[in-house]
Amino acid sequence: MARKGSKHKKGQIKSKKKDGVHRMNQLKFASRAQEKVYEKLAMEFLQDHLPKIMDIVPAEVREERGEEPNPPGKLYKKVIQTIDTKETYVKRAKTFIKWHVINKGVARLGQINRETTDEFFENIARNVGTAQDEYSKKTYDSYVDGTYKMFQALAAAPDDAKTKLDGRIFADSVESSRQMLDRDYKQELRDKIGEYSKEEYKRGSGYESRQASTIMRQAEKYLSTQDQLLVATLVYGTARNDEAQQFTLDCYNRERGSIDMLKNGMTKQNRGRIVLDVHPKVFELAEKLQQETGMAPDAKIFAGYDDNKVRDVVKTCCHYGKIKYSGVHDLRKAYVEKTERELISNIKKGDVTKEDLIQKIMEQVSIKESLNPMIKLKERRYRTNKDGKKESYTVYKKVNGEIVEERKFSVEKLEKMNIEDLLDLHMAEQLGHSDPETTYEYRLEKASERRKAFRKEMRNKRKNEKH
């Protein structure tokens, strides 16, 4: 119950963070006292032991290590694609267990069953919506996936789940976890809400390119050179919030006309990248800041900034420009709209060719070994199954008993791609995406329609050239 005179609603807990109230009313955590119960009983398990049980090595890490796609491990062949996905799963599992400890008084994991699990997800489902303090459908879906992955982890390695907490065995029975491993049941949990649409999948409403230009103009009118450079880095450099905070002056490569994010730990999943064809204004501001401050090339420009301060800078520009604030990350959508529009126009006019895009892509993937790794080639074979039908399967290609390897990208490979696919790949590299399909959610409606029309036009053009 909230204190008398408090502005917080019942069920809301005041966060220690600077950005105010952390809303937890959806899961009925009523007070800090209840949180202490949870901390005493299960913090050791959640903080230290659960991540070990869910010992999932992301595919990207395995690839960089040169390991087989599915090495033996706690989850055997239960594949996780990214580090972020793994962290999200563990986070969701922690919340799931935390709710059971506080609301159901469980003393061990074996007490969690379908009935309590249903109640947990019904609480979440009732609070799915579009308001700021509600869960998105995508978040709900991640709770289902994370919880199911926890059941897989516990069932796959029950002995590893045993640990003493406060003199008792918290995870002495995980039989219930095996009972949860039912895909039909997983689908039942998903069905508590509807499928989320493309619009709901997006991070926010997004900025159009003209709005991003307005944000930049307001920065130039009202903000310091340092903040102007920050905004320019976000608008023209595809930087994420946490990436921008790591920038040094030597990241701005005027000679190449690029922004270089190559320092260790600087980028998401440590996937270094260079952003080509950067607006000259970015380099002008970087030089101006260096002249004003005498800052060393390797000194962090935004060392005193955190996520909230970066947001506040963008919010200030939105306020002066009378634009609805849609987050920092959504400036990347504006970048996609503007850059794709210009490239599509130049391709149609013949000013940008396949060779130009191939050169850009090879320049981007050649800056770091992990961006263009050696990969094992596969070949398709056929066999007859027990029903007498032919089916295909793949095996590693071998020559003289040795598996054949080659670079993921090469000029020869790229030359076989269509120009519209090369454009998608180039945009993915600009944004730091390993999969071009990830860029799909960054396109607002107009940008998406423009891309579809362009792809159709290119296909028709190739068909006409054949006849």
Helix/strand number for the chain, H first, E second: 19, 13
pLDDT of residue 232: 98
Query: Which residues, other chains included, contact 443 with Cβ-Cβ below 8 Å and sequence gap of 6+?
Result: 333, 336, 337, 340, 451
Compute how many other C-beta atoms are within 10 angstroms of the C-beta atom of residue 318. 18
Percent over 70 (pLDDT), the chain: 71
Measure the CA–CA gap between 128 and 122, rounded to whole angstroms.
Answer: 10
pLDDT band of residue 256 (cuts 50, 70, 90) is: very high
pLDDT of residue 195: 57
pLDDT of residue 86: 62
| CATH H-level superfamily of 209-332 | Intergrase catalytic core (1.10.443.10)
Of 445, 430, 429, nearest to 279 by C-alpha is: 430
Greater model confidence, 11 or 302: 302
- pLDDT of 205 > 50? The answer is yes
Quick: pLDDT tens for 47-63: 555 555 444 444 555 55
Q: Which amino acid is at 23?
A: R
* DSSP letter, residue 46: I
Of the ranges 140-144, 217-221, 401-405, which one carries the lowest mean pLDDT score? 140-144
pLDDT band of residue 98 (cuts 50, 70, 90) is: confident
pLDDT band of residue 182 (cuts 50, 70, 90) is: confident
Measure the CA–CA gap between 103 and 95, rounded to whole angstroms.
Answer: 12
Q: What is the mean pLDDT of residues 231-239?
A: 97
pLDDT of residue 151: 77
Query: Which residues, other chains included, contact 289 with Cβ-Cβ below 8 Å and sequence gap of 6+?
Result: 225, 226, 229, 249, 295, 301
Scored b (16 or more CB within 10 A) or e, 281-306 reads ebbebbeebbeeeebeeeeebbeebe
- pLDDT of 21 > 50? The answer is no
Measure the CA–CA gap between 35 and 40, rounded to whole angstroms.
Answer: 9
Of the ranges 102-116, 347-361, 390-404, which one carries the lowest mean pLDDT score? 102-116
Q: What is the mean pLDDT of residues 179-187?
A: 75
List strands edge to edge, sheet with 273-275: 252-253, 258-261, 273-275
Alpha-helical runs (H) found in 249-377: 280-293, 307-321, 331-349, 354-365
Two tokens, residue 55:
């010992």
pLDDT of residue 13: 34
- pLDDT of 72 > 50? The answer is no
pLDDT of residue 68: 52
Of 185, 106, 94, nearest to 147 by C-alpha is: 94
Give the burial class of 116: count Cβ atoms within 10 A of its Cβ; 0-12 exposed, 13-18 middle, 19 or more buried: middle
Of 166, 169, 167, nearest to 38 by C-alpha is: 166
pLDDT of residue 358: 97
Greater model confidence, 176 or 379: 379
DSSP, collapsed to helix, strand or coil, labels residue 396 as strand
DSSP 7-40: SSPTT-EE-SSTT-EE--GGGT---HHHHHHHHH
- pLDDT of 75 > 60? The answer is no
pLDDT band of residue 462 (cuts 50, 70, 90) is: very high
Greater model confidence, 1 or 310: 310
Residue with tokens 């990241």: 251
pTM confidence score: 0.63
pLDDT of residue 259: 97
**Average pLDDT of every residue of the chain:** 78
Angle (CA) 421-422-423 rounded to 5° is: 90
pLDDT band of residue 130 (cuts 50, 70, 90) is: low
Residues 384, 390: contact at Cβ < 8 Å? yes
Residues spanned by CATH 1.10.443.10 within the chain?
209-332
pLDDT band of residue 438 (cuts 50, 70, 90) is: confident
pLDDT of residue 291: 96
